Amino acid sequence: MSKWDNNEEIQIFREYLRIPTVHPNVDYEPCVKFLQRQAKSLNLSVSICYPANEKCPVVILTWTGLNPDLSAIMLNSHMDVVPVDEKRWTHGPFDADIDQDGRIFARGSQDMKSTGMQYLAAIRALKKDEKQLQRTIHVTFVPDEEIGSEFGMKAFVNSSEFKQLNIGFSLDESCAFPLNKMPVFYAERRQFALELICEGQAGHGCIIQENTPGEKVQYMLNKLMELRKIESQKLKDNPELKMGDVTAINLTMMKGGLQTNVVPSEMSLTFDIRLAIDVDHDAFEQQIKGWCAEAGGGITIKPILKDAEASITKTDHSNPFWVAFEDAVKELNLDVEKWVCPGSTDARYIRELNLPALGFMPMPNTPIRLHDHDEFIQADIYLNGINIYKKIISNLANA
């Protein structure tokens, strides 16, 4: 038995971790019932909406502020988690085991069930202190973030239920960090994943044909991988840059071919591309089209994921929510770094509405294990994060 076993917040967190909201074919109903119980224990109103389909609920817990006419604060987290390879885990991925060092092992312990429960724990502490906040707080739990949010936040922000919340600012996820500092995301690289379908002359493998799909594949591969090399070099040349400050290009799939002695009429390449925030989206797309023409034509660009242009959340005194956030972290003496998120979170859909959003998780001194085997968070880090959110939420709601 560990010293954390009798801690109420740790036990609530572990109960949440044991709900296997894992892809594919997630059943969110046990999660919804758990959150309804949490709402009741906190005396918060709760509503559930289904902006995309009946399998994908959005759960909203609301703490009404003293001045509900003010725009509200949204504390967002996602309920779903990525799949697991159980044989590579030393603890059951949905057992929420805690070892003698206080490490809580479970899928979602970092990404991002910890955050959702820390929000609620912070509210519990604020209520216990009889704090009264000016702005209404909506704690939202959304589905399907790990598969692109098509049935989650993307649909939710276009719903009547979202519009009724009167959101003025949103807090969402960032990531663990192995040093004694915490990243705060104020923007995200834009996804531009695509498949290049290269068509050309087919024939016998013994004949050197012209205009074959393989030549086009080689040309496009060389162009994109050379650009990848340039972006990689930027990071090496400037230690001030972070991963999110450059464009990421990765070849993720190659398809084509019938058998060894047949030149196919079609081959394809799939790239996961994340555009840096200073890249002109349209100009980049035109560059790809230009390379396709140089390769001999006959190349179809098939978009897979293409983010819309999104605003960047201001991190200066023109943004009162940033001021409130910054004042909180300064008072708590936290080391916070401003980052462009290298991946993608649900905050991008909030920023597309020109609403400010920050990604933040109080998880310093923690190895980054999101989507990895043996994902864990240390119990003391988790509990300290509750106190951090308590101050931040109070500041934001009184901004």
CA atoms within 13 A on the CB side of 98: 20
Out of 9, 144, 145, 172, which one is annotated catalytic?
145
Which residues have C-beta within 8 Å of that of residue 196, sequence separation ≥ 6?
Answer: 217, 220, 268, 269, 270, 271, 292, 299, 300, 301, 302
Pairwise CA distance, residues 88 & 96, whole Å: 16
Backbone angles phi, psi at 256, to 5 degrees: 140, 165
Out of 80, 188, 307, 326, which one is annotated catalytic?
80
169 alpha carbon, distance to own chain's centre: 17
The DSSP code for 87 is: G
Length of the chain measured in residues: 399
The reply to whether 8 belongs to the active site is no
Q: Does residue 267 contact residue 198 with C-beta atoms inside 8 Å?
A: yes
Pairwise CA distance, residues 244 & 192, whole Å: 14
The DSSP code for 22 is: B
Write out the two tokens for 102: 């206080």
The 3-state DSSP class for residue 253 equals: strand
The reply to whether 145 belongs to the active site is yes
**Cross-sheet strand order for the sheet of 248-256:** 248-256, 266-275, 190-199, 299-306
Active-site residue list = 80, 145
